[in-house]
Amino acid sequence: MPVADDSLSATSTVAPPPSPGRSQEAFVLLAAVQVVLVLAITMLSVALPTVRTELGLSVAQLTLISAAYGLSFGGLLLLGGRIADLYGRRRVFVAGTALFGLASAVGGFAPDVTTLLTARLVQGAGAAFAAPAAMALAVSLHQAPRARARAMGIWGALAPLGAAVGTLVSGAAIVWFSWRWTFLVPTLVAVVAVLLAPRVLPRDAGAPAGGKVDVLGAVLATAGLSLLSYGLVHAAETAWTSAAVTVPSVLGVVLLAAFALVERRAPDPLLPPGFLVSRRRATALWAVLIASAGTATMFFLLSLYFQQVADLSPLRTSAAFLPFTVVLLAVGPLGGRLVARFGSRTVIAAGLLLAAAGLLLLGRLTDHSPYAGPVLAGLLLLPAGIALVFSAATITMLNDVPAEQSGLAGGVVNTALETGPTIGLAVLASLAASHTAGLTGGATARTAAEASGYAFAFTTAGVVFAVSALAAVLLLRGQSRHDVPADRA
C-alpha cells in the first residue's frame, strides 16, 4: 500500500508492508490482540456471579462492572480510529494495548469494587485505541486485493471467535483457578504483544505532523454513545419507561444528533459526513450490528438456559459452546474467498439466512430439550452464518476506504461490534423477561416459563435476521464478484 499523501492526512502513518513471512507474524499478533479485546467481555460475564460473592457486590454494582468495559470501549472507538490515522497506527496500537494490559492487571488484583470498576473503564479505553489501529495495520499488511479480502475475511470472524473462546476459557478458569484469571489472561497477551510489536509490525512512516483532532466531535460522540449504551444496559433489567433508561438514552440520542450537525461544519471531522452515505457501507454496517447483537444475546440467554434450566455447571456450560467455536474456526477463513467468487451481496444474505435458521431452531427450546436437538443444530448453523456475515461485511466496509481513513473505518466497524450487543441484550433480554413473567403467574413451572421466554427471544431475533437478509439482497443489488478486484500480475 502506498504511503498516504500529506495532502490527504495529517501525517504519513503507513509504511511499506514487511516481507511475506513477517507479514504473517504481524497478522497473527494483531489477530491475537483483537480476539483478547473481545474475550475480555465474555470472560468476565461468566465470572460475574463468583465476583459478586467474593467482593460482596450489589446487583447495581455488578451491572456497572459488567457494562463499564463496553461503555468506554464503544464510546471512544471513533476517537481511537481517528487518532490512529493522524499519529501512527503502530504507535497507537502499542499505547492502547499497553493501557489495556495495565488496566487488566489492576483488575486482576482489585481488592474492592471501586478499583475493579476503574480498571474496567480504563481497560475499555485502551481497547478503544488498540482495536481500530489493529484493523488498520492488518489492512496495510496486504497490498493485493484478493489477499486483503482473505485477510479481512478472517479478521471479520475474530470478534465472535473471541466471544466464544472467552466463554470456554472463563469456565475453566473459574473452576480450576479464580475469576481473577479473567483479567490476568488478557494481561499476559497484552504484555507479549507490546514486546513483539516493535519487531514484527511495520513502522509508522514519518513523524506526526500537526494533525488536528475534532475535540468537540470527540466529546459529543463519546458522551452520546456512552449515555445511549448506559440507558440500554438498564433496559435489560428494568422498565423501558423508567428514568434509568429514558434519561440517559434520550440524552445520548440528542448528543449524537448534535454530533452529526457539528461534523457537517467541522474542518477536520471525526467522522466525515459522507463516510456512511454509501449504501453498501451502511448495509454492511447494519449486518455487523445485528450479527454482533445476535451473537451476544445467544451467549447470554443460552448460558442462562444451560445453568438455570438445564442445571449445568459453569465448566459444562462452557463446553456446550464448543461446537460454536469449531464452526467459526472452520468457516471464518472461507469468507474472503466466497466474497471474491460470489460477491458481498450473496455472502452477506446467505450468512444472515443461515444465522436466522440457527436462531429459529433455538426458538424451539423447551425445559426438556435434549442438547443433541435444536440446541446443537442452532449452535452449528448460527456460527456458520455469523462468520460469513462478519467476514463479508468487514470486506465491504474496508474495500474502497482510502488508506488515510483505514483507522477511522476500523473505529466505525468496532463501534458497531460494541453497540450491537448492548442493543441486542436490551431488547431481547427484555422480551424474554416479559414473556417469562406472563407465564409464571399461571400454572407453568418456573423452568418451563424461562425456557419459553428464551425461545421467544430467539425466534424474534431469527425473524429480524431473515428480514435483514432480504434487505441485503435489495440494498446491495448490483454488487458482484468484482467487489474484490483481481490481483495485479
Residue type, 6: D
Last residue of a domain, one of 269, 288, 305: 269
Q: Note whether residue 4 is domain-resident.
A: no
From residue 418, give the alpha-carbon distance in Å to each of 281, 286, 425, 446. 17, 13, 12, 32
Q: Which helix (H) or strand (E) is 74 found in, with range?
A: helix 59-87
Q: Which grid coordinates belong to 64? A: 456497572
Residue 59 has a CB neighbour count (10 Å cut-off) of 9
Q: Note whether residue 3 is domain-resident.
A: no
In this structure, are 342 and 301 located in the same domain? yes
Residue 341 has a CB neighbour count (10 Å cut-off) of 11
pLDDT at 236: 61
pLDDT at 209: 46
Q: Note whether residue 7 is domain-resident.
A: no
What domain range is 296 assigned to? Answer: 20-213+270-483
Q: Note whether residue 356 is domain-resident.
A: yes
In this structure, are 300 and 206 located in the same domain? yes
Q: Note whether residue 11 is domain-resident.
A: no
- Residues 75, 393: Cα–Cα separation, whole Å: 22
Residue 417 has a CB neighbour count (10 Å cut-off) of 30
**Residues 433 and 453 sit within 8 Å (Cβ to Cβ):** yes
From residue 19, give the alpha-carbon distance in Å to each of 4, 23, 25, 290, 354. 20, 6, 10, 37, 38
Q: Note whether residue 66 is domain-resident.
A: yes
Q: In Å, how far from its chain's centre is CA 411?
A: 11
DSSP state of 6: T
In this structure, are 221 and 206 located in the same domain? no
Q: Note whether residue 8 is domain-resident.
A: no
pLDDT at 34: 87
In this structure, are 193 and 224 located in the same domain? no
449 contacts: CB under 8 Å, gap ≥ 6: 436, 439, 440
DSSP state of 13: -
- Residues 460, 382: Cα–Cα separation, whole Å: 14
In this structure, are 248 and 323 located in the same domain? no
CATH number for the domain spanning 188: value is 1.20.1250.20
- Residues 410, 400: Cα–Cα separation, whole Å: 13
Last residue of a domain, one of 230, 252, 269: 269
In this structure, are 227 and 78 located in the same domain? no
- Residues 118, 139: Cα–Cα separation, whole Å: 33
In this structure, are 182 and 234 located in the same domain? no
pLDDT at 488: 44
**Residues 104 and 187 sit within 8 Å (Cβ to Cβ):** yes
**Residues 159 and 390 sit within 8 Å (Cβ to Cβ):** yes
pLDDT at 484: 53
In this structure, are 225 and 200 located in the same domain? no
In this structure, are 41 and 152 located in the same domain? yes
In this structure, are 192 and 309 located in the same domain? yes
Q: Note whether residue 286 is domain-resident.
A: yes
In this structure, are 231 and 360 located in the same domain? no
Which residue's entry shows cell 465491504? 396
Task: List, run by run, the mean pLDDT of 10-residue segments along the chain (489 residues).
Answer: 36 50 80 87 74 73 74 81 82 94 92 88 92 84 70 74 75 78 89 91 63 76 80 69 82 87 77 72 85 84 82 79 85 80 86 94 86 89 90 79 69 79 78 74 70 88 91 72 48
Q: Which grid coordinates belong to 83? A: 487518532
In this structure, are 353 and 477 located in the same domain? yes
Last residue of a domain, one of 233, 251, 269: 269
Q: Which grid coordinates belong to 261? A: 450537525
- For the chain, the domain total comes to 2
